[in-house]
Structure 1
Amino acid sequence: MKKFSFRVTMWVGALALLVTACQKADDIAPPRQLIPRDKMVSLLMELHTLEARTDAAGLPIDSARALFHEAQKNLYWRYEVNDSSFRQSYRYYAVHDKDLDEIYAQVVDSLALREVQLQAANAASAGTPAPTPPPPRN
């Protein structure tokens, strides 16, 4: 019985994925709790920074995963979103390819600028010349 229910679930999931993949971007309505683009950029920046910090912590995988999920919940709480609204918003922006590309262009540029500012602050405290920022993306 377990094999059967697993196979049915697998086929239903595959069918649902196929149906959503075949939909045009215009056919998919925004979710009720769509996270605005600027908030999504900030949230993604924080999530990627959190992920990098967790990776750099050098913890065992299970501890790092637990730490990341706890910090992720706190981050969602600070931004007043839940994981469901984040996933639905991310999916909506992903289906609208150009939107997600533009969001991630802002995320990458902002993280690069943050890195240059951090390097400049470190260079100033060490007495070395500051690095130049990367050129903006078009």
Structure 2
Amino acid sequence: MQKYISLFFLGLICLTACESKEVPRDVIPEQQMISLLTDLHLTDGALYVVPQMPDSLYKYGRAKYDAVFKKHHTTDAEFKKSFKYYSTHPDQVQDMYVKIDAIIKAKIDSTNKASRTPLKPVQ
């Protein structure tokens, strides 16, 4: 009897240890999620610097977020479901945010470089 109990728990351990790395079909793929999260964070930043009046964030912000979702051919519900999936995989999310951070830093650097470059006079 003890042998069967040991085999049962050994099998249970093997099944739980063999977690699939494959993303479910209804979850946004990682590269697309990185691009979507980057755009969402840039939208957050853009809305943060705009003076806020009552209901202005909801009135104007919602349209900006909807435009981001439309650009990425997804919906708010699909994003929430995908974000919930990725939040159960913290190592993967951390890797994604390293890439997002690099993308945003590159955009900041290119903006700073462009603003420092003197304009040539037109002749």
Q: Which of 114-123 and 70-79 deviates more?
A: 70-79
1:133 alignment counterpart: none
Alignment of 1:59-70 (within 5 A): 59-70=52-63
2:23/2:29 contact within 8 Å kept:
no
Within the candidate set 36, 42, 46, 1:49 is matched to 42
Shift of 1:125: 3.2
Shift of 1:61: 4.7
* Counterpart residue identity of residue 122, structure 1: S
Work out whether 1:74 is the aligned partner of 2:73. no
In angstroms, what is the RMSD of aligned CA positions?
2.5
Within the candidate set 84, 99, 114, 2:107 is matched to 114
Q: Deviations over 1:38-71 (max 9, x none)?
A: 1111111111111111111112152023211111
Gaps of 5+ in 2: 1-16
Following TM superposition, the consecutive aligned residue runs of length 4 or more in structure 1 with deviations greater than 4 angstroms are none
Over 3 Å counting, the alpha-carbon distance change for 1:93 and 1:45 in structure 2 is: same
Question: How many residue pairs get matched?
Answer: 104
Structure showing greater Rg? 2
* Counterpart residue identity of residue 115, structure 1: I
Shift of 1:31: 4.6
| Aligned mates of 1:125, 1:83 — CA distance in 2 | 42
Work out whether 1:86 is the aligned partner of 2:113. no
Q: 1:34 is paired with a residue of what secondary structure? A: coil
Gaps of 5+ in 1: 1-23, 128-138
Give the structure-1-normalised TM-score. 0.66
Q: Deviations over 1:66-118 (max 9, x none)?
A: 21111111211111111111011111111011111111111111101110110
What percentage of residue pairs aligned between the two structures are identical? 20
| Aligned mates of 1:81, 1:55 — CA distance in 2 | 24
Give the structure-2-normalised TM-score. 0.74
Q: Flag the structure with more relative contact order, 1 or 2, with Cα contacts below 8 A and sequence separation at least 6.
A: 2
